[in-house]
Structure 1
Amino acid sequence: MFKQRLISGIILVIIAFVTLYYGGFLTFFVVGAISLIGVFELLRVIHMEKSALGVIVYTGSILYYLLLLLGLEQYIIPLALLVLIMLIAVYVFTFPKYEISSVAISYFALFYVTIMLSCIYRIRMLSDGAYMVVLVFLSAWGNDTLAYCAGRLFGKHKMSPILSPKKTIEGAVGGVIGAGLLGCLYGLISKNFLSVHYNLIIVFGIVCAVGGLISIIGDLGASAIKRNYDIKDYSHLIPGHGGILDRFDSIIFTAPIIYYMLVMVVGLK
């Protein structure tokens, strides 16, 4: 099991590196494909992956990415409204085939998976985006790894005993601090390649620490959904890791937070 997980992890890292290094349409296509698979996995939890509701969300996700690609972001809110109207239309005209909870979760999938994951592509398209997008993975996966280590060494107080019995407060603190230190180290390395008006060590450290903190919510959120529907993994797409949502659960929350920190606080464009 460990060997399978290790091999899959290495392949994932290679795919992520190549995708983010080249940027442009490759990043757009890969992130878009990952989003669609993630939407499918979430809809399958409620058995709506092949329904009319699912078709509307898939279509909305594709149109959303096309708007990003074409630089027509002013139409994203109208698209979101249109998707909601279409979902409600199907709900009322086929009543009582679907429950309102299915409609709500289908709409939730558009935001939770498609829009939030798209921030990986958004970060990559910023100035020096090839360097900035690394912060997402440093904070999310770095926090996850270092929180595990800190929890094993110092963990005594359960953070969420019912939802995730193995996670501890000490592990969470260690993960956030560790993610921040990784950000500082990355800033120290990156300052040799980037010419900016701010201190990369401090900025990257803060960004990764905040991203690491938010990634905990993303991780626990995905676990809570699985607990609600009594499933172990969202799929078996990635051997040893589960599905897209199992592997990207923390990144789903980390990516938009880091994107808006870079845009609204740091001032990247």
Structure 2
Amino acid sequence: MLKTRVASALIGIIILFAVVFSGQIVLGVSVFLVSVIAMYEYFKSLKNAGYRPVEAVGYISCAGILLLCSQVVQIPFLDRMISLKSLMFAVFIMIVVLFSFIIFLHSKYNITDISLTFFGVFYIAFLLSFIVLTRNLNNGFFFVWLIFIGAFSTDTMAYFSGLLFGKHKLMPAISPKKTVEGSIGGVIGCALTTLLYGLYLNKSGSIDFIPYYHFLLMGILCGIISQIGDWAASAIKRYVKVKDFGSIMPGHGGALDRFDSILFTAPVIYFYLSQII
């Protein structure tokens, strides 16, 4: 099982490098495809629990990620579509459409179904969009790696810390294998890895100098929020009674299983870089 997990992770890392190095457009399209797969896995798990999500609304929402690419190719019409007012209008339309399903198709859909659909849009499409937003920042090519470093280093260090030192269960009702020691190790590991990456960026001159404490703080924040993302996905799976959301990555589960932490680290990195630094 461990060999399969490692082999699958290596293949995933190779694909990740290829995608990020291919440019902003390729990254945006790739994030869009991941969001569609993750949305499918999410809806499938809901249907497994007896719910009826409005799937069309969920999939259409993923297209919003493609609109973010307009900041790269500079299409004026698309630029206007991603203004704050336009996004607020899109949310309003989505609410109206979802309520229309329980009004006109009340025998098939109910308030729980549309609420779970609405949640899925923000949980998956909205949070994943911050990967593209981070890539669109100045020096975004270097900063976008902080999202993946934050999630993967936390996951890896938490796993091995728990394996070597884990004694005290953290939240057995949601994720039986998680330990306090593993969680602490994940935060420390993420902070150190992010700091090392910051050291590389500053020393190589890849970016304008950023004080090292910022990288340390981003690492600590990602180490904490990444695990919340992991636990959130575990809580959903526990509720809908599935072990994994999918099986696209042997040893890791589906796209949503692999990106559950990234969903939460992406906004942290984006907001920290755009609002604090």
TM bin, normalised by shorter chain, reads over 0.9
- Does structure 2 retain, via aligned residues, the 8 Å contact 1:233–1:246? yes
- Does structure 2 retain, via aligned residues, the 8 Å contact 1:32–1:65? yes
1:73 to 57, 63, 82: 82
Hey, what does 1:202 align to over in structure 2?
213
The letter of the residue matching 1:241 is H
Hey, what does 1:60 align to over in structure 2?
61
CA distance in 1, matches of 2:149, 2:24: 21
> TM-score, normalised on structure 1?
0.92
Q: After superposing the two structures, state which structure 1 stretch, 151-160 or 106-115, moved more.
A: 151-160
Hey, what does 2:74 align to over in structure 1?
none
The letter of the residue matching 1:233 is D
The letter of the residue matching 1:238 is M
Hey, what does 2:2 align to over in structure 1?
2
Query: How far 1:99 moved relative to its partner?
Result: 2.2
Query: How far 1:171 moved relative to its partner?
Result: 1.5
CA RMSD in angstroms comes to 1.9
Q: Secondary structure at the match of 1:242?
A: coil
1:225 to 206, 216, 236: 236
Identical positions, percent: 37
Query: How far 1:67 moved relative to its partner?
Result: 3.2
In the TM superposition, what whole-angstrom CA distance separates every residue of 1:169-198 from its partner, at most 9, and x where no partner exists? Answer: 221111111100001111111111324243
Hey, what does 1:37 align to over in structure 2?
37
Query: How far 1:157 moved relative to its partner?
Result: 2.3
CA distance in 1, matches of 2:45, 2:95: 20
- Does structure 2 retain, via aligned residues, the 8 Å contact 1:219–1:250? yes
The letter of the residue matching 2:26 is L
The letter of the residue matching 1:34 is V
Query: How far 1:15 moved relative to its partner?
Result: 1.1
Q: After superposing the two structures, state which structure 1 stretch, 26-35 or 97-106, moved more.
A: 97-106
Matched, 1:152 2:152: no
1:138 to 134, 149, 162: 149
Matched, 1:163 2:164: no
5+ residue gaps in structure 1? none
5+ residue gaps in structure 2? 71-78
Query: How far 1:121 moved relative to its partner?
Result: 1.1
Q: Structure 1 pair 148/60, CA: closer, same or farther in 2 (3 Å)?
A: closer
- Does structure 2 retain, via aligned residues, the 8 Å contact 1:67–1:76? no
Q: Structure 1 pair 234/221, CA: closer, same or farther in 2 (3 Å)?
A: same
Pairs aligned (count):
264
Hey, what does 2:223 align to over in structure 1?
212
Q: Structure 1 pair 195/225, CA: closer, same or farther in 2 (3 Å)?
A: closer
Query: How far 1:7 moved relative to its partner?
Result: 2.4
CA distance in 1, matches of 2:250, 2:189: 27
